Structure 1
Amino acid sequence: MKLSYRALIVPAALCSAWIFYSLFESHSHPLFPSIESVFSLLIRKLVTGAYLTDILWSLRRNISGFALGTASGLIAGIVMGYFTRMDKLLTPTFNFFKQVTLLAWIPLLSMWFGQGETAKIVLISLASFYPMTVNTYAGMRSLDSKRNEVALMCQLSSFKKLRMLIIPESAPYLYTGVHLALIYSWVATIAAEYFFSSAPGVANIITDGRDTLDMPKVISGMILIASIGFVLNSIFTRLEARQLHWVQK
């Protein structure tokens, strides 16, 4: 996915307005720091490695919860979408629980798993589980019925049928599920770090800045969160486009 020059107009305009505002020191406000103070702090913390520990901790939580939730969602989606009896048995209950907003799970998770890493990873995995299950289920339900004839004619085993027919045919749905799970898992990572016990993580940068009224630190943390999420999304978008180049859009 190529970045259009038009996509840079709004960020350039916002940065220009911020720079223009920062030039007037008489109008500066402690709650709205200059662009120079924010980016100088951000660059200094990155160069010295002060933010590196927070970034690595957040990415570790994100990857752990994302992997757990995506794998569970893939299995659940296949079971409910491919097997008719399991669909009738499990799908109504799944549709009931998926209406529960993610933040509503936090009090329950804190009582079950405490305030530590386990609760954070479970929350992130829940954020990944639902979109992956929904899209995998849709992919299973969209399968062409003729695949059974092909599998019978080629004498494919159940595993080969899954690997050679079912997975490739439902790949667009699966990639969509993984993509959404990746987005939601990063959002859930920040929420988990914010609502559970304080520990190293990018959300901790914001909470520290809030507690000390250090607005450059708060905004630098927000920029860092957005940048990491943008990079993760861009990487997967390129991977998805490369793997699904055969799909007619």
Structure 2
Amino acid sequence: MDLISLIGTILAFLVVIVGTVLKGSSVEALWNPAAFVIVFVGTFAALLVQNPGRVLKRALSIFPMIYKPPQHQPSDLISRIVGWSEISRRQGLLGLEPQIDSESDSFVRKGLQLLVDGSEPEAIRGVLEVEVESREHTDIAAARVFEHAGVFSPTMGIIGAVMGLMAVMQNLADPSKLGHGIAAAFVATIYGVALANLLMLPMAARLKSLIHQQTQMREILVEGLVAIAEGANPRQIEARLLGYLP
């Protein structure tokens, strides 16, 4: 669990709630069913129009990464790759076959299998790099769903505010309803702007960062497996891969 992201999300809600109270309003004033429908359902509808189902499905599947990010430890991966190279030098590439079943990551298993099968270095690079690029493209497209939600929601908030003010204008003859009506109208604006700037846009940026880290890990793996296939010395492989570290 990433406590920083969790704390940030909690603070996002507290900022709006506490800020409302400190400004002299009440928490109840933040709840407006019509504004909720216009902003949240409207934003979701816009996302449905913009994105195919597979992209939306992928966006939902990577959402938990924000709070449970993969553990990216390039130094640990480099150590494992150096260990594989030492095994291959002692026992040959077939000596790596027992390592395949012990790996939980399908990409790692695929790379090791190509290595064990005796594929040429450039063939290994070609196959794995296509998958790296494909996965990154798919995941970035999914992360952009949250970014697009951050673009749509403020506009939906303005639409909700305008619709609320239209309702207020129809009750100008009754001054007792004007204050409440105007306040309710601007709740939609709060929903839209807060949803975008406190949640959707930060989440999109966080997911993109995690995706780039995953891509870097896969690039390290590809380079390491190619080096093993080329018969490079374990120390040379280690020096080569350490260049990926900051």
Higher radius of gyration, 1 or 2: 2
The alignment's TM-score, normalised by the length of structure 1, stands at 0.35
The alignment's TM-score, normalised by the length of structure 2, stands at 0.36
Bigger relative contact order, structure 1 or 2, given CA contacts below 8 A and separation 6+? 2
